[in-house]
């Protein structure tokens, strides 16, 4: 057995798998250690990838050369593009996945990744000397050495499961927790906290009456997450929608004192945007129903996931309440819902590379940093894997700007603002939503990743082909005239003003409700152009978005350039904030603690005011002048 590696990744969840794959694909001799090799990237909660903002993250991971998009496509049982009725900045891809197949596909990719070695074991402690990581120790008494270690422990560090009054040590139901690492890291100077998440009961679908529920089908023409596409999803499984009711709420309200969330058994913070059913009933007492999504767990299983009914109530209460939901009158449970508490580390202790400040060469990724969600974890794992490689090769870290990627927003929010509740990505967290569309992830990130050696040449060829096709389409839209007789019947049908004279296609496309598909159907020349040049649907859609939203995109780009000018003003290492008496006391304390690398990062720290930034800019100019004189 080898005992020496370049990089060791601890944990085989979404963050760990992406970290290990990225490091190995870059050329690092990498070891991935997990407690159970049958659970790679286990979907511990809902069997789905993507969604609002999360879908954009999966496409960004794929554009960078990560595996999550490929695995999602290979295991998809349904695809939907969410928010199609809104602007393209809100369009968010989502797949419903086969939970078992998802893990199998991940293992297949990992086992066929060069430079990547797998080991099943538990890590009991880290080998740290003089502020530098040296390796890890395992429960089997093995010492593995490495120049960098990426810790992706998920919910396993001192994990505690709650079902009513019952408490079970574990990282997931049926899986043991990890102990010892938290205490060692606290001793090394890290600040830690406790968080809580939860999951619903799983139901035998054969016991449900789907005929009384709303059916939610996938898109008629499903897309792919991966830019390497196309999708191979020929058939799809439907999901279903039902609702709670006052009877369900009464049962839960009468039993609220038996919930660990309300009787003091749990005092850690849970996810604001994915609360338990008892929390929803308590907080939104005026509502007489809550929407539930009934999601199949795979192609060949009857097990279903009840999205929206997360609970840690006693089993008998969960069963009693859920059987009062329409369509669930005869529901048979496979397993109860539960809450889980676990340790996390305050993310302001990290650099933007995700390397920890106290320990050189040690990286954190995933729920250990206070986030929730497979997608957020996978994104952090990918960046940690890249930057661990950059670290051992003495190269500059890859730090994505807020204007470049949702991943950049995610990491910047964690590092500069911290979090006291499980962080979830939303489009509203990004200042540059129009630029950070899901369809532009490849053009924003693939060249960056290809330059460092991760994104393949195939990805670059696909991107170049798409951009060439888009440019041809935009040119064709500017040249092609649309005659009234060609398009007026379609305009009348959608109640858009008729034409009285010919107009250029690009001008007509700027109207609301006018799509490039409508123009192709109306104009023989546009249709022939698309066919003869073999223009892809993605290139056509991209050309439509750019044409429709050119003004908005331009203004957003100008704003980004102004704000990014602050990121160019570097702050010297160990700058003396306490010596700047004109700064507010809060600013001095927070800046000294978080040590931002530039003025832009400083401006995004919670509690830092514009006046503080002005003072700091003057102080930095004086500092530079003083150093120049010396």
Residue range 108-119: mean pLDDT, rounded: 98
- Helix 441-452 with 457-479: angle, nearest 10 deg: 150
Q: Provide the pLDDT confidence category of residue 608 given band limits of 50, 70 and 90.
A: confident
Pairing relation of β-strands 123-129 and 116-120? unpaired
Q: Provide the pLDDT confidence category of residue 627 given band limits of 50, 70 and 90.
A: low
Question: Could you tell me if 508 and 482 are in contact, meaning their C-beta atoms sit under 8 angstroms apart?
Answer: yes
- Supply φ then ψ for residue 214, to 5 degrees: -80, 135
Scan for tokens 């830019």, then name that residue.
227
Q: Which residues, listed in sequence order, are joined to residue 292 by a DSSP beta bridge?
A: 242
- Supply φ then ψ for residue 577, to 5 degrees: -70, -35
- Supply φ then ψ for residue 9, to 5 degrees: -110, 125
Q: Provide the pLDDT confidence category of residue 626 given band limits of 50, 70 and 90.
A: low
| Structure tokens given for 354 | 């995700």
The pLDDT tens digits of the residues spanning 164-174 come to 888 888 877 77
Q: Provide the pLDDT confidence category of residue 175 given band limits of 50, 70 and 90.
A: confident
| Structure tokens given for 221 | 């023409």
The pLDDT tens digits of the residues spanning 403-441 come to 899 999 999 999 988 888 889 998 888 888 889 999 999
Query: In the chain, what are the domains?
Result: 4-195+342-447 (3.50.50.60), 198-339 (2.40.30.260), 457-552 (1.10.10.1800), 568-629 (1.10.150.570)
The pLDDT tens digits of the residues spanning 204-245 come to 999 999 999 999 999 999 999 999 988 889 899 999 999 999
pTM confidence score: 0.89
Question: Could you tell me if 22 and 109 are in contact, meaning their C-beta atoms sit under 8 angstroms apart?
Answer: no
Q: Provide the pLDDT confidence category of residue 630 given band limits of 50, 70 and 90.
A: low
| Structure tokens given for 356 | 């920890």
Pairing relation of β-strands 30-34 and 76-82? unpaired
* Helix ranges (DSSP H) in 393-440: 406-417
Pairing relation of β-strands 160-163 and 166-169? antiparallel
- Better-predicted residue by pLDDT, 530 or 603: 530
The pLDDT tens digits of the residues spanning 358-374 come to 999 999 999 999 999 99
Residue 174's pLDDT is what? 77
Q: What is the DSSP string of 120-155?
A: E--EEEEEEETTEEEEEEETTS-EEEEEEEEE--TT
The pLDDT tens digits of the residues spanning 125-158 come to 999 999 999 999 999 999 999 999 999 998 888 8
Q: Virtual CA dihedral for 8, 457, 109, 156, nearest 10 degrees?
A: 40
Could you count the other beta carbons within 10 Å of the beta carbon of residue 264? 8
Around 279, how many Cα atoms within 13 Å sit in the side-chain half-sphere?
Answer: 20
């Amino acid at each position: 057995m080898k005992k020496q590696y370049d990089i060791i990744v601890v944990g085989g969840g979404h963050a760990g798998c992406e970290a290990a794959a990225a490091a190995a694909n870059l050329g690092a001799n990498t070891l991935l250690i997990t407690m159970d090799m049958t659970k790679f990237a286990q979907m511990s909660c809902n069997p789905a990838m993507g969604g609002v903002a999360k879908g954009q993250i999966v496409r960004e991971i794929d554009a960078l050369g990560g595996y999550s998009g490929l695995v999602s496509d290979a295991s998809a049982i349904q695809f939907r593009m969410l928010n199609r009725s809104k602007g393209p900045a809100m369009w968010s891809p989502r797949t419903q996945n086969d939970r078992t197949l998802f893990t199998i596909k991940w293992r297949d990719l990992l086992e066929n990744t060069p430079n990547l070695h797998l080991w099943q074991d538990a890590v009991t402690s880290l080998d740290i000397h003089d502020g530098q990581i040296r390796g890890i120790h395992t429960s089997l008494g093995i010492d593995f050495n490495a120049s960098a270690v990426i810790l992706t422990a998920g919910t396993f560090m001192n994990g505690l499961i709650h079902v009513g009054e019952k408490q079970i040590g574990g990282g997931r139901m049926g899986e043991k927790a990890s102990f010892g690492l938290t205490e060692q890291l606290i001793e090394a100077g890290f600040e830690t906290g406790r968080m809580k998440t939860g999951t619903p009961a799983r139901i035998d679908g054969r016991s449900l009456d789907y005929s009384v529920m709303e059916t939610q089908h996938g898109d008629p023409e499903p897309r792919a997450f991966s830019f390497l596409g196309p999708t191979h999803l020929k058939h799809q499984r439907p999901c279903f929608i039902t609702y709670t009711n006052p009877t369900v709420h009464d049962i839960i309200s009468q039993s609220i004192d038996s919930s660990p969330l309300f009787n003091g058994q749990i005092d850690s913070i849970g996810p604001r945007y994915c609360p338990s059913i008892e929390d929803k009933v308590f907080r939104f007492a005026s509502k007489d129903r809550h929407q539930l999504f009934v999601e199949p767990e795979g192609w060949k299983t009857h097990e279903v996931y009840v999205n929206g009914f997360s609970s840690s109530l006693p089993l008998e209460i969960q069963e009693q309440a859920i059987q009062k939901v329409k369509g669930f009158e005869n529901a048979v449970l496979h397993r109860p819902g539960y809450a889980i508490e676990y340790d996390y580390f305050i993310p302001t202790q990290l650099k933007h590379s995700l390397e920890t400040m106290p320990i050189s060469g040690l990286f954190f990724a995933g729920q250990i940093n206070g986030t929730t969600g497979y997608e957020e974890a996978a994104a952090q794992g990918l960046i940690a894997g890249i930057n661990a490689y950059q670290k051992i090769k003495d190269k500059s870290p890859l730090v994505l700007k807020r204007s470049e990627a949702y991943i950049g927003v995610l990491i910047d929010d964690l590092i500069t603002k911290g979090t006291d509740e499980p962080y979830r990505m939303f489009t509203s967290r990004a200042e540059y939503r129009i630029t950070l569309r899901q369809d532009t992830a490849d053009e924003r990130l693939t060249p960056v990743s290809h330059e460092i050696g991760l994104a393949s040449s195939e990805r670059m060829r696909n991107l170049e082909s798409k951009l060439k096709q888009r440019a041809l389409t935009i040119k064709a839209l500017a040249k092609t005239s649309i005659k009234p007789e060609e398009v007026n019947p379609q305009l009348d049908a959608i109640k858009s003003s008729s034409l009285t004279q010919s107009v250029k296609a690009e001008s007509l496309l700027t109207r609301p409700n006018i799509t490039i598909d409508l123009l192709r159907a109306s104009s023989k020349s546009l249709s022939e152009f698309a066919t003869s040049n073999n223009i892809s649907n993605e290139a056509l859609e991209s050309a439509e978005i750019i044409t429709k939203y050119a003004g908005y995109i331009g203004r957003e780009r100008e704003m980004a350039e102004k704000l990014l000018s602050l990121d160019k003003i570097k702050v010297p290492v160990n700058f003396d904030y306490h010596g700047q008496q004109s700064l507010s006391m809060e600013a001095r304390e927070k800046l000294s603690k978080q040590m931002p690398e530039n003025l832009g990062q400083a401006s995004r720290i919670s509690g830092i005011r514009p006046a503080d930034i002005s003072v700091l800019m003057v102080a930095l100019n004086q500092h530079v002048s003083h150093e120049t004189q010396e």
